[in-house]
Structure 1
């Protein structure tokens, strides 16, 4: 079903569309942060991006898989804890692109023992907010009906909150 909004065609999203998009976002976020925190992240994390993907990491712009590699190659190990995520399907394509906002904490380096403070950020949990624009991956094998589509990261913006 299509409706017109301000003269432009827009698709109406059904409850099923939203449910499938939410499952896709949940699957994506679990896989993304597990990969980010893994020992093989330098080889695996860039696979989530395409050369045209844009990335802004705490105000620093980077481009595509090479930009992600550049960002993480000298970064200490990480441990992300996702607190929440929100997903909004963007009408206009089938499957729709997804706007996913994640909030949580991340520790860079080894966690500090309980009660111990450091003068640097290493080992301390930092609150972050990260927003992804996930784009359906037309090169991926088609999903089965009712299953989430395969996506890549078209845009990624992370900002430390505290």
Structure 2
């Protein structure tokens, strides 16, 4: 089994910090369909990348507030794959003030919800990197759930 070096951990932490900031700012952007590169295998339930694009385009705008993230480099490749866990709050829509006056108080639309999201990133071995530069990664798995 390959061992991780101190440099592996430092690079992974920088990559996770960079990824987290970039991902959520792109996701919250009004141009998120252009900012988020989406390519997935043809599998259900969304019927491929076009299905995911259709799903995301129908979602209301979002505002993520990341509270914390944790990164675990996974040995086996150089640079190592990354398991990133993110938690925070997300508001869908324009916030409570954007809801019509008739909206029930318990309606979650427009109110912050606590979320937890886990990403598995693998290094893009086809993308050249310079010494000391954070490797380029792509998302191989992404799970998200509301916890509050």
State the shift of 1:90 in Å. Answer: 0.5
Out of 67, 70, 74, which is 1:90 matched to? 74
TM-score, structure 2 as length reference = 0.87
- Please tell me whether the aligned partners of residues 129 and 158 of structure 1 are also in contact (alpha carbons under 8 angstroms): yes
Q: Which runs of 5+ in 1 are unaligned?
A: 1-9, 55-59
Structure 2 residues without counterparts, runs of 5 or longer: none
1:40 Cα deviation from its structure 2 partner = 0.7
Distance 1:105 1:77 in 2: 14
CA contact (8 A) 1:51 1:63 kept: no
1:99 pairs with 2:83: yes
Aligned partner of 1:147 among 129, 133, 141: 133
Report the alpha carbon displacement of residue 158 of structure 1 after superposing the two structures with TM.
0.1
Name whichever of 19-28 and 62-71 sits farther off: 62-71
Partner of 1:7: none
Moved over 6 A (4+): none
Q: Given the superposition, is the C-alpha separation of residues 39 and 27 from structure 1 closer, same or farther in structure 2, using an over 3 Å criterion?
A: same
Give 1:144 shift: 1.4
Instruction: Give the strand-richer structure, 1 or 2.
Output: 1
Computed over aligned residues only, the root mean square deviation of the Cα atoms, in angstroms, reads: 2.3
Partner SS state of residue 143, structure 2: strand
> Secondary structure of 1:149's match?
coil
Q: Deviations over 1:13-35 (max 9, x none)?
A: 01111000000000001000000
Q: 2:116 aligns with which of 120, 129, 132?
A: 129
Residue 15 (structure 2) aligned to one of 21, 24, 34: 24
- Does 2:103 align with 1:119? no
> Helix, strand or coil: the match of 1:85?
strand
SS of residue matched to 1:71: helix
1:33-86 CA-to-partner distances (Å, cap 9, x unmatched) read 0000001101221x1x432398xxxxx955764343133111010000000000
Task: Give CA-to-partner distance per residue, 1:86-136, whole Å, 9 cap, x none.
Answer: 0001100011110000000000001124xx973321110000000000011
